[in-house]
Amino acid sequence: MKIVTPDEMAVMDKQTINSGIADYELMERAGTRCYEIIASELTETQKILVLCGAGNNGGDGQVIARLLHNCGYSVSVLFVGKAEHFSPNALQNYKRLTDIGAVCDFYTRFDAKTQASLDHANVIVDAVFGNGLRDRPLRESVAALFDAVNARSDKRVYAIDMPSGLRGDTGQTVGAAIRADKTLVIQNYKTGHLLGDGPDLSGEQILVDVGISERHCDSTKFLLDAQSVPELLPRKKNSHKYDYGALSVIAGSQGMVGAGLMAATASLRAGAGLVTSWVPREVYGIAAGQMPWEIMVRPYDVESFFQELRKRQTDAYVVGPGLGRQTFHSELIKTLIARQKPMVIDADGLYHLSKIMNVLEEGAHAPLILTPHAGEFARLCNTTSDAVRRDPIGLGTQFVSAYQVVLVLKGHHTLIFEPGAAGTGGVRVWFNTTGNAGMATAGSGDVLAGIIGGLVAQMPTPADAAKLGVYLHGLAGDLAAAEKGMVALTATDVLAQLPAAIRQLQQEDQEK
């Protein structure tokens, strides 16, 4: 499924209308489908308040209100906007509402009458702004209404397409926004549903199919789910460990041994045939004593490290978790990039990469998978974390187009940026659908870097390794949260569930 911006959704709407379906008919479809979902969850005695704006989202809300009224529900409509500002379709629906005697009123300021309307309702339907909201402050009276809705936790709130006050493109709020229990998403997820505050304000997101085709939409943003995630290739019976990759994990340092331990173990659990963990000599005893028996642990000194690395067969690298910030490591990463072997760079490795970005600017380089959070990515882009949070898709696309790397930008819906052919642009962005807030814990990123590293030699491309690795990491986190709960979840809990996640995904692949 494609993920779209509000502008791309508007193109889809237009193309569908051009194909012969009237825009009023689309509104009727959207309102009817939403009505069916809402009505299926109502009791006969519940009272419904529908908040409608003057645009087409308000028109959807009016269709819902009319159908509820015709079926005998106690429903009232509060218009947040003036009748003279109604869109043509909203105006047509307003006439139909008044013709059947529906209770309608217009909101101008928050007063005792408005408070009584909210108190009287059991269910609130939010159809004020929709997905096209721009970055300008709300009127004080509108913000007061939204705050009052949010203050009534005993009300069930449905948002139509997008919680009002939430931008459909960035997922940022414009000062105040309604917090929905359920958001009925019209046809396709908008970027604002999945970015920023979108996931928290939307509640449960339910897709509503109204027959709008995405065939003419040129969006290169996609949902990464069980149907679209790359399959892990089956193992041949006649194979050996080197068929599944010899991986070197350069991670861990004084005080951060656990980071290297988790990354290396995750690589092994993800199916790498041979994993070697490289650690500074001063922590070798600690690391070797804790590392799984199957992982080879090698100590290194700054003076001899390059020579030692050349002695080992290595198909790919994971560099960075708990590495530390010695100047030597910047030169190490520069040397490894020159070897033209796939490499996952995470954590402190990204810090060192930011010091030698000219290596990427010089053209062809090793296949790289970078796994930053917002702050680390901001350093790579020479910008701020706030700038990344405001426009992760734009900045990520520019970065990947310029440097031809695979970018895994970590977050609630981790984004995987997949480059097109060099010089052609065409960056594809994947929104991951697995994972939970319990994974916002120390070590989670180390496990992710290790999983992706373990998959690099097993997948057709580094981008496929990144997509599968992110999806499995989140799925393992979901399995761990189901067992431990999100508050008590640790990175090692996620690691422990990785085999179950792989098994579950393989079973789902067989059932496709």
Is 322 known as a binding-site position?
Answer: yes
- Report the alpha-carbon distance of residue 9 to residue 216 in Å, rounded: 10
Cβ pair 427, 420 in contact under 8 A: yes
- Report the alpha-carbon distance of residue 166 to residue 320 in Å, rounded: 36
Is 53 known as a binding-site position?
Answer: no
CA distances from 63 to 11, 12, 68 (A): 23, 21, 9
Reduced to 3 states (helix: H, G, I; strand: E, B; else coil), residue 32 is helix
Contacts of 147 (CB under 8 A, 6+ apart): 176
- Report the alpha-carbon distance of residue 232 to residue 239 in Å, rounded: 16
DSSP code for 174: S
Is 57 known as a binding-site position?
Answer: yes
Is 410 known as a binding-site position?
Answer: yes
Q: Which two tokens stand for residue 151?
A: 């203050």
- Report the alpha-carbon distance of residue 28 to residue 390 in Å, rounded: 34
Is 446 known as a binding-site position?
Answer: yes
Cβ pair 182, 201 in contact under 8 A: no
On the CB side of 43, CA atoms within 13 Å amount to 5
Is 411 known as a binding-site position?
Answer: yes
At residue 358, φ and ψ (nearest 5 deg) are -60, -25
- Report the alpha-carbon distance of residue 93 to residue 72 in Å, rounded: 18
Is 89 known as a binding-site position?
Answer: no
Is 259 known as a binding-site position?
Answer: yes
Nearest 5 degrees, angle CA 442-CA 286-CA 254? 60
Is 60 known as a binding-site position?
Answer: yes
Is 56 known as a binding-site position?
Answer: yes
Q: What residue has token string 């594809």?
A: 428
Is 165 known as a binding-site position?
Answer: no
Reduced to 3 states (helix: H, G, I; strand: E, B; else coil), residue 237 is coil
Nearest residue to 225 via CA among 509, 484, 455, 510: 509
Hey, how many other C-beta atoms are within 10 angstroms of the C-beta on 306?
A: 13
Is 385 known as a binding-site position?
Answer: no
Nearest residue to 248 via CA among 304, 302, 320: 320
Q: Which two tokens stand for residue 369?
A: 């998978």
Reduced to 3 states (helix: H, G, I; strand: E, B; else coil), residue 111 is coil
Strand 368-370 and strand 406-409: the pairing is parallel
Contacts of 206 (CB under 8 A, 6+ apart): 37, 182, 183, 184, 185
Cβ pair 172, 196 in contact under 8 A: yes
* CA 144 to the chain's CA centroid: 30
Is 412 known as a binding-site position?
Answer: yes
In what side-by-side order are the strands of the sheet with 47-52?
Answer: 103-106, 74-79, 47-52, 123-127, 156-160, 182-186, 204-208
Contacts of 387 (CB under 8 A, 6+ apart): 378, 381, 395
Q: Which two tokens stand for residue 169?
A: 């493109």
Is 414 known as a binding-site position?
Answer: yes
Is 95 known as a binding-site position?
Answer: no
Annotated binding residues for K(+), written as ranges, equal 57, 126, 164
Question: Which residues line the annotated binding site for AMP?
Answer: 410-414, 445
Residues comprising the binding site?
56-60, 126, 161, 164, 259, 322, 373, 410-414, 445-446
Residue stretches of the annotated binding site for (6S)-NADPHX: 56-60, 161, 259, 322, 373, 446
